[in-house]
Amino acid sequence: MSMELMVKAFKLQVGNPLRKLVLIKLADNANDKGECWPSYQHIADQCEIGRSTVKSHVRALEAMGMLTREFRKKGELNQSNLFQLNLDNPVPLPISGSGAGSDLGLNLPEVGQELSEGGAGAVRGGGAGADPRTSHSFEPVNEPVIEPKYNGSSDNDCEKKRSSKENYSNEFEQAWQTYPKRSGGNPKPSAYKSWNARLKEGVSEIVMLNGVKRYAAYVQATGNAGTQYVKQASTFFGPDRHFEETWQAPASNAGSRRTALPVSGFTGQNYGDTNTSF
């Protein structure tokens, strides 16, 4: 493996993501001189693409001047190609001839004339035994994964990121417009997901819509509209089915205070007689 060549391969523009993957795989197998000889099948297995696709992209990379190929044989047996990477100063090959690969500007042999490959560690130059310079890395590359974090953005931000192909039902839109506003995040896609989950459970849209209306009236009556105390809609339509609750607004405390004794000083109160002897 040549880390220097892999870094260069990452930085190069090759016009196709699979082509870049093939180039990076070749750099992974290459020694510090830029030489490698993996079989087409080995590249295909490692990149999880078809063998013919690998051949096509190798030809394209050759046309772009990023590599050259040397066809090798051991007696009557065909060996894997020797690839020589040239990532410092790629020089595109001139256009010549026709036939297979003419769209890339190369006079390439037909597919049937392509030398078949040996093993991934085929012997270079026809010698016996495995070539010690062959490097096939099977170790996974562990890259740090940065999970998206909820930053408390409003549902408007989520709407911008949501696919334009997703359409909400008319009933959900009506419920969403009725749902009380809250302080903090209230993602609409998550609410719609919970809404659809309840529909699959057999809950009627009318039941959920009426629940929203009762909850909106309750929030308004308790003075919690626009605060963080309003439930997220995804929770409201969630498995706990808060939309089925009655959401009756509490009785006003003003009426009960009218019957209580006023607390405005001592003059209005009757505390009884107190006899004190001095």
Q: What is the pLDDT of residues 173-196, one digit of tens each?
A: 999 999 999 998 999 999 999 999
In angstroms, the CA 210 to CA 86 distance is 69
pLDDT classification of 157: cutoffs 50, 70, 90: low
Q: Is the pLDDT of residue 48 over 50?
A: yes
| Percent of the chain residues past pLDDT 70, beyond the cut | 62
pLDDT for the residue 139: 46
For the chain, the helix, strand and coil percentages under 3-state DSSP, each to the nearest 5: 40, 5, 55
The set of residues, in sequence order, having a beta carbon less than 8 Å from that of 178 and lying 6+ positions away, is 209, 212, 213, 216
pLDDT for the residue 270: 52
Taking all residues of the chain, what is their mean pLDDT, rounded to a whole number? 74
In angstroms, the CA 162 to CA 182 distance is 20
Taken in order 192, 198, 201, 203, the sign of the CA dihedral is negative
pLDDT for the residue 146: 59
In angstroms, the CA 29 to CA 192 distance is 49
Q: Spell out the domain ranges in the chain.
A: 3-126, 155-251
The set of residues, in sequence order, having a beta carbon less than 8 Å from that of 111 and lying 6+ positions away, is 52, 55, 100
Q: Is the pLDDT of residue 100 over 70?
A: no
In angstroms, the CA 2 to CA 151 distance is 40
As a whole number, mean pLDDT of residues 102-117 equals 40
Q: Is the pLDDT of residue 275 over 80?
A: no
Contact (CB, 8 A) for 180 and 220: yes
40 vs 133, residue with greater confidence: 40
CATH tag for 3-126 (out of 3.40.190.10, 3.30.470.20, 1.10.10.10, 3.40.50.11540) = 1.10.10.10
